[in-house]
Amino acid sequence: MSKEGGTAMARPKVPLISKRRALEVALEIINAEGIESLSIRRLAERLKVNGASLYHHFQNKDEIVVGAAQLALEGVRAPQTHDEPWRVWILRNARRLRQAFREYPDLVPVMLRRRPLSIGSMELETTAALLAKEGVPVGAIVPMLEALELAAIGSALHEARGDGGIDPDHDAERTPHLIRAFERRALSADEIFDKLCGQIIDTVVATAAERAASQEPEVPAARMLSPRQPQAGRTSPAKATA
């Protein structure tokens, strides 16, 4: 017998459906019904196949969830060429990460565990290598990626609140100034996010560069002695000839 989180059934020798298609439908179920509604049986019903067919690609539901998270983050990629400035594509990746959090909020906890689950780990490695090659201070790379991820999460969660709970008809008399401020806001949520990410990039890179410049390179032990100062245990040429 198969178990959703335990021992899997024997995998069929010939797949009846592609792994990608299965993950695409899994994402649809998660998005429409929530992650708790996803199961081998539910996914098989949507795909119109026997549940055993899914074991050709997956051991259990957990593997499907991880695969769905990987698919959701598919657009967050380092470029294959150097045709555009690194700030352009790193901001684009931040936007795509935010969009993934917005589209699949139930997968946010899974995405946040992507390093232990190896979700996108090689993509992060490629990103770090490319940023270093582009001249980004090594000390800035991890803090910048972490800060951009925090901004994406915060922005996505904030937008999930909609209009912030303000009802213009109901709150017109109680909060007139707040309603007026909402109506005349100068920046959209997308513009706020872009400006925030721009500030994060500039600040983190500048801070890392300043700290790297302020750190004096270590002097090798062999060079710490003055050329005129004899090393301990050795006799100076003058004394040797005396």
Same domain, 39 and 136: no
Contact 128, 115 (CB under 8 A): no
| The total number of structural domains that make up the chain | 2
Can you give the pLDDT at residue 224?
46
Assigned domain for 2 exists:
no
Same domain, 42 and 98: no
Can you give the pLDDT at residue 238?
47
Domain that holds residue 60: 19-72
Measured CA to CA, the distance from residue 53 to residue 12 in angstroms comes to 6
Assigned domain for 4 exists:
no
Tokens of 31: 């998005």
pTM: 0.71
Same domain, 37 and 143: no
Same domain, 205 and 130: yes
Same domain, 94 and 208: yes
The Cα-based distances of 242 to 1, 231, 232, 233, 238 in angstroms read 95, 19, 19, 17, 6
Can you give the pLDDT at residue 171?
66
Ranges in the chain, pLDDT < 70: 1-16, 114-119, 161-171, 216-242
Same domain, 27 and 126: no
Same domain, 199 and 111: yes
Measured CA to CA, the distance from residue 10 to residue 30 in angstroms comes to 26
Tokens of 21: 């298609």
* Rounded-to-10 torsion of CA 190, 196, 199, 204: -120
Can you give the pLDDT at residue 220?
56
In 10 A of CB 115, how many CB atoms? 10
Assigned domain for 182 exists:
yes
Same domain, 65 and 149: no
**Residue 208: closest CA among 123, 149, 131:** 131
The Cα-based distances of 53 to 47, 70, 240 in angstroms read 10, 21, 88
Contact 97, 151 (CB under 8 A): no
Same domain, 110 and 178: yes
